[in-house]
Amino acid sequence: VNAALAKIQSERAIQKAKEAEERLREAEREAAAILG
């Protein structure tokens, strides 16, 4: 049970990291558009 829980938690952490990376890229694009 603990192994399955750890796997789920790690997959969630990976997904959150991917989402954070996407938001960072969007913010960089917006900054580039604003600053030229």
pLDDT tens per residue across all 36 residues of the chain: 899 999 999 999 999 999 999 999 999 999 999 998
- Per the structure, the complete domain to which residue 19 belongs is given by 1-35
d(CA 13, CA 1) in angstroms, rounded, equals: 18
The per-residue pLDDT for 7 is: 98
Give the dihedral of Cα atoms 23, 26, 31, 36; nearest 10 deg. Answer: 170
First to last CA, the chain: 52
Tokens representing 18 are 């991917």
Domain count, the chain: 1
Q: What is the pLDDT of residue 36?
A: 87
Q: Specify the amino acid at residue 31.
A: A
Residue 27 has which token pair?
Answer: 């913010």
